[in-house]
């Protein structure tokens, strides 16, 4: 990716590409930690802590919701209190602490909930501010923003691919060697080590982003504000632990967040300048579509994860010749592998279409994305008809994840680009946070949907569990078709809003 737009200051020696690389690398290592944990967390609760499927699904979905809701606060802290760049660093440190706590050998559920609470706080500071740094690097060029965020998304999946393949293997290897369940905690420790490596790397490259950030980054650290943020983080971590223990609180919190998010959008649209209303309205329509997408996304770590555990042949073979065997948790890495394969292709296509003036709108890309997701879930559903003794082919997982991942790139991969394109710069960090609130709400709803395929503890025969899962996947396929239709219906509205937004630029 060549530097076609001059840096913010001619005196600065750092190109956009080098600045982007620094942010992408810290994001890579942060996602290494997060997805390494995600690959195991539902299995950990079911196999190590003895949770029922339904409880494990909802605890993780509530945790994922909190992890994505917290950036609404973190984005504001980055914009107004500590600074975008500084908040990214602090968030990474807190995340490393959270994963380190997961590595402590303990079967106490409150300890696990507390560790997840620390992860919530760290992600709240890191996620919106890292994304906002990328936005600031490429601000003002829509086609380059789409391309940059697609490549940024690829960096995310480099880290997650390695960790989702590594942590299940580490868990199995350590458990086999010591036979005392220490493997789970060794794998979580690796997640923490990844964040430490990422922090060391960004410290070495920090000069490349020294000129990128918000106004507080340009001032010395305010010790009082820093202590206030850290104290608030302790309170938030404790509150998150309580919410994870009591599911009624989690449900009330998530639904209240949805009402607040909608109210914020309506308030901003009403109070903003006329030149900003069209862009914010378009962002609202597209954010609603993203909520639906992440309901599908959450299946990867819940229903699809448990489907791989119970109803997928773990051996990869071609014409009877055995190639390799995966553990159930490693199948989640297929998503990240496909993202890495497809991201450069889509980034090139976006840039080429932008140069020729034929780039599809984000709304049109969303419609194509939902259609691809539908095909992916139908692939899982159809696989049940070809199962042997209740086990489906591992190759079906590759096909399904490929279609699903293409849809993810077209929808989720452009979600941050959508915020960067339609939202005024003065509220960029806050709206990045609001975007993640929407994602968090849908993560929780995804857990509710996954529980439609919750398998009773006394049902262990793969022949009996298979139809439970395939029924859900076929319904999800139909739901994705409905989302495709809705996205197509919304196209003319978004097109008009986009035209009005561009007219005021």
- Residue closest to 410 by CA, chosen among 112, 149, 173: 149
Burial class (CB in 10 A: 0-12, 13-18, 19+), 47: middle
Residue 94 and residue 27: Cα distance in Å, rounded? Answer: 14
Cβ of 271: how many Cβ atoms within 10 Å?
Answer: 9
Instruction: Note the pLDDT of residue 440.
Output: 84
Instruction: Note the pLDDT of residue 12.
Output: 42
Q: Are 225 and 79 in contact (CB under 8 A)?
A: no
Cβ of 256: how many Cβ atoms within 10 Å?
Answer: 11
Residues 6+ apart with CB under 8 A from 257: 65, 69, 437, 440, 441
Instruction: Note the pLDDT of residue 140.
Output: 63
Cross-strand bridge partners of residue 312: 392
Residue 95 and residue 192: Cα distance in Å, rounded? Answer: 8
Query: What does the DSSP 8-state code read for residue 329?
Result: G
Residue 379 and residue 14: Cα distance in Å, rounded? Answer: 46
Q: What is the pTM of this model?
A: 0.81
Residue 173 and residue 471: Cα distance in Å, rounded? Answer: 34
16-503: CATH topology is Growth Hormone; Chain: A; (1.20.1250)
- Reading the block at residue 402, the tokens are 């490929």
In three-state secondary structure terms, 316 is strand
Residue 133 and residue 164: Cα distance in Å, rounded? Answer: 26
Residues comprising the chain, all counted: 505
Cross-strand bridge partners of residue 315: 325
Alpha-carbon dihedral angle through residues 463, 469, 473, 479, given to the nearest 10 degrees: 140
Angle at 80 between CA 78 and CA 84, to 5 degrees: 25
Q: Are 160 and 34 in contact (CB under 8 A)?
A: yes
Cβ of 203: how many Cβ atoms within 10 Å?
Answer: 10
In three-state secondary structure terms, 272 is coil
Q: Are 275 and 424 in contact (CB under 8 A)?
A: no
Taking every pair of Cα atoms in the chain, the longest distance, rounded to a whole number of angstroms, is 69
Query: Rounded to 5 degrees, what are φ and ψ at 425?
Result: -60, -35
Averages of pLDDT over each 10 residues, the chain, 505 residues: 38 64 84 91 91 90 88 83 88 93 89 94 88 75 67 75 91 84 90 89 82 80 89 93 90 83 75 69 74 87 91 87 88 88 81 73 81 93 88 91 88 65 65 75 89 81 90 93 86 68 60
Q: Are 271 and 139 in contact (CB under 8 A)?
A: no
Q: Are 150 and 24 in contact (CB under 8 A)?
A: no
Angle at 272 between CA 269 and CA 277, to 5 degrees: 55
- Reading the block at residue 348, the tokens are 């090139």
- Residue closest to 292 by CA, chosen among 491, 486, 57: 486
Q: Are 303 and 54 in contact (CB under 8 A)?
A: no
Distance of CA 147 to the CA centre of its chain: 18
Residue 16 and residue 145: Cα distance in Å, rounded? Answer: 12
Residue 445 and residue 233: Cα distance in Å, rounded? Answer: 25
Residues 6+ apart with CB under 8 A from 352: none
Q: Are 119 and 387 in contact (CB under 8 A)?
A: no
- Residue closest to 173 by CA, chosen among 182, 160, 161: 182
- Domain coordinates in residue numbering, the chain: 16-503
- Extract the runs of DSSP E, i.e. beta strands, from 394-467: none
């Amino acid at each position: 990716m060549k530097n076609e737009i001059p840096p913010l200051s001619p005196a600065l020696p750092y190109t956009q590409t080098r600045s982007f690389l620094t942010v992408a690398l810290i994001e890579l290592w942060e996602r290494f930690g997060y997805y390494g944990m995600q690959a195991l967390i539902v299995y950990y609760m079911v196999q190590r802590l003895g949770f029922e499927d339904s409880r494990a699904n909802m605890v993780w979905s509530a945790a994922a919701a909190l992890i994505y809701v917290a950036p609404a606060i973190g984005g504001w802290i980055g914009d107004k209190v500590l600074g975008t760049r500084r908040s990214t660093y602090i968030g990474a440190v807190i995340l490393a602490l959270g994963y380190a706590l997961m590595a402590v050998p303990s079967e106490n559920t409150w300890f696990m909930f507390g560790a997840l609470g620390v992860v919530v706080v760290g992600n709240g500071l890191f996620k919106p501010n890292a994304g906002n740094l990328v936005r600031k690097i490429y601000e003002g060029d829509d086609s380059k923003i789409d391309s940059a965020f697609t490549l940024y998304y690829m960096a995310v999946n480099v880290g997650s691919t390695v960790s989702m393949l590594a942590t299940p293997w580490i868990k199995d290897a350590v458990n086999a060697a010591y036979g005392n369940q220490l493997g789970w905690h060794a794998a979580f420790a690796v997640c923490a080590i990844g964040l430490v490596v990422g922090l060391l790397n960004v410290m070495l490259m920090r000069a490349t982003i020294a000129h990128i950030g918000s106004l507080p980054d340009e001032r010395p650290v305010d010790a009082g504000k820093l202590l206030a943020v850290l104290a608030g983080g302790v309170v938030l971590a404790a509150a998150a632990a309580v919410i994870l223990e009591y599911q009624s609180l989690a449900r009330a919190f998530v639904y209240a967040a949805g009402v607040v998010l909608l109210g914020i959008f309506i308030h901003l649209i009403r109070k903003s300048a006329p030149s900003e209303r069209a862009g914010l309205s378009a962002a609202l329509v597209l954010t609603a579509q993203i909520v639906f997408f992440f309901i599908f996304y959450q299946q990867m770590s819940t229903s699809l994860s448990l489907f791989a555990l119970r109803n997928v042949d773990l051996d990869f073979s071609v014409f009877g010749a055995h190639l390799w065997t995966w553990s159930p948790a490693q199948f989640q890495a297929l998503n990240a592998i496909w993202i890495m394969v497809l991201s450069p292709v889509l980034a090139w296509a976006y840039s080429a279409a932008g140069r020729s003036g034929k780039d599809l709108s984000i709304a049109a890309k969303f419609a194509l994305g939902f259609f691809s997701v539908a095909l992916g879930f139908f692939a899982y559903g159809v696989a049940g008809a070809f199962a042997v003794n209740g086990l489906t082919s591992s190759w079906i997982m590759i096909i399904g994840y490929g279609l699903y991942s293409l849809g993810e790139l077209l929808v989720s991969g452009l979600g941050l680009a959508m915020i960067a394109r339609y939202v005024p710069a003065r509220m960029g960090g806050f709206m990045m946070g609001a975007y993640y609130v929407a994602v968090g709400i849908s993560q929780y709803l995804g857990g509710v949907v996954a529980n439609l395929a919750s398998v009773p503890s006394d049902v262990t025969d793969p022949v009996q569990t298979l139809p439970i899962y395939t029924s859900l996947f076929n319904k999800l396929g139909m739901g994705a078709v409905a989302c495709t239709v809705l996205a197509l219906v919304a196209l003319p509205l978004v097109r008009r809003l986009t035209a009005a937004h561009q007219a005021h630029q």
